[in-house]
Amino acid sequence: MDNRPIGVFDSGLGGLTCIPNLFRQLPEERVIYFGDTARTPYGSKAVSTVKAYTNQIADFLAAQNVKMMVIACNTISSTCLPDLRKRFPDIPILGIIEPAACRVAESCNMESRIGIIATKVTIASGVYTASIEAMHPGLSVFCKATPAFVPLIEEGIIDNEIMDLTIRYYMDDFVKENRLDTLVLGCTHYPLIRKNILKIYPQLKIVNPSYEIVEKVKQVLQDERMLAERNDRENIFYASDLSENFVNMIQNILDTEKSDLILKFKNLDL
């Protein structure tokens, strides 16, 4: 048994899309979340910058004595996972791409037409394609960087025409030309536009890595005998910029009132 919190982090609010399912699957666990809202998006930045920011977040979470780190960000998972594991050899660190690739490998076959949408950094890393190919060689995988989604989502521009037009701009040709039947939401912000995507392309079967990673967290905690016993201490949500927008979005995503949340400002540059 281990009652210490799980550290979950992202460049911004996207990683929050993992949290409701994590609370459902593992109600005894406590979470310390960090969203680098002051410096998001990471997905179009140089990999060296993503690595430097990520080390600051991971150092902060390690100082909070987390028992596990969950990288609820594809961009960071695709670029920083091996370095982070070297930096913290005693803390289990889970990336989000491997569980998603595993789901694709298990659920798709040689007839499947699989699309991956993600940030520029994630797509350029080639990690999704390589992981799927390693687990199920020969599957048809097509990738597309969709960099404007994250800034729009961070701004709360979701249920409207601007988002729908942006989806069509990136995806109409991508879906049609590759005859896609499956779509991996390769960025943890994208589950927030899942409904918009399905409204436009109802034929797509969606793989949501924000969901898949929670299964992996559960499995590792069980295997390592690190599950928590019921504890009543609260979850803490840190952000490097506590904007009004972030506060609104976190309430929506977690379906809770601000008064029920412990929100804290933490600027890693200070």
Q: Which residue numbers are catalytic? A: 73, 187
Which of the ranges 40-48, 51-59, 165-173, 245-253 carries the binding residues for ligand DGL, by CB under 6 A? 40-48
Query: Does residue 42 bind ligand DGL (CB under 6 A)?
Result: yes
φ, ψ at 68 (rounded to 5°)? -155, 150
Helix (H) or strand (E) holding 41: none
Query: Does residue 43 bind ligand DGL (CB under 6 A)?
Result: yes
DSSP 3-state assignment of 252? helix
E strands within the chain?
6-10, 31-35, 68-71, 93-94, 113-118, 140-145, 182-185, 205-207, 236-239, 262-265
Query: Does residue 240 bind ligand DGL (CB under 6 A)?
Result: no
Determine the residue with CB nearest ligand DGL. 43
Q: Which residue, 25, 83, 92, 17, is CA-closest to 56?
A: 83
Of 216 and 228, which CB lies nearer to ligand DGL in the complex structure? 216
Give how far Cα 29 sits from Cα of 8, 24, 129, 254, 260, Å.
12, 10, 32, 16, 17
Query: Does residue 119 bind ligand DGL (CB under 6 A)?
Result: yes
Query: Does residue 210 bind ligand DGL (CB under 6 A)?
Result: no
Minimum distance, C-beta of residue 231 to ligand DGL, in the bound complex (Å)? 28
Q: What are the beta bridge partners of residue 185?
A: 117
The single-letter code of the amino acid at 22 is L
Minimum distance, C-beta of residue 74 to ligand DGL, in the bound complex (Å)? 4
Decide if 221 contacts 68 (C-beta within 8 A): yes
Contacts with ligand DGL in 170-209 (CB under 6 A)?
A: 187-189
Query: Does residue 99 bind ligand DGL (CB under 6 A)?
Result: no
Query: Does residue 19 bind ligand DGL (CB under 6 A)?
Result: no
Of 128 and 201, which CB lies nearer to ligand DGL in the complex structure? 128
d(CA 61, CA 238): 10
Minimum distance, C-beta of residue 179 to ligand DGL, in the bound complex (Å)? 26
What would the x/- binding string for ligand DGL be over residues 71 to 90, using CB under 6 A?
Answer: --xxx---------------
**Binding positions for ligand DGL, rule: CB under 6 A:** 10-12, 14, 40-43, 73-75, 119, 122, 150, 187-189
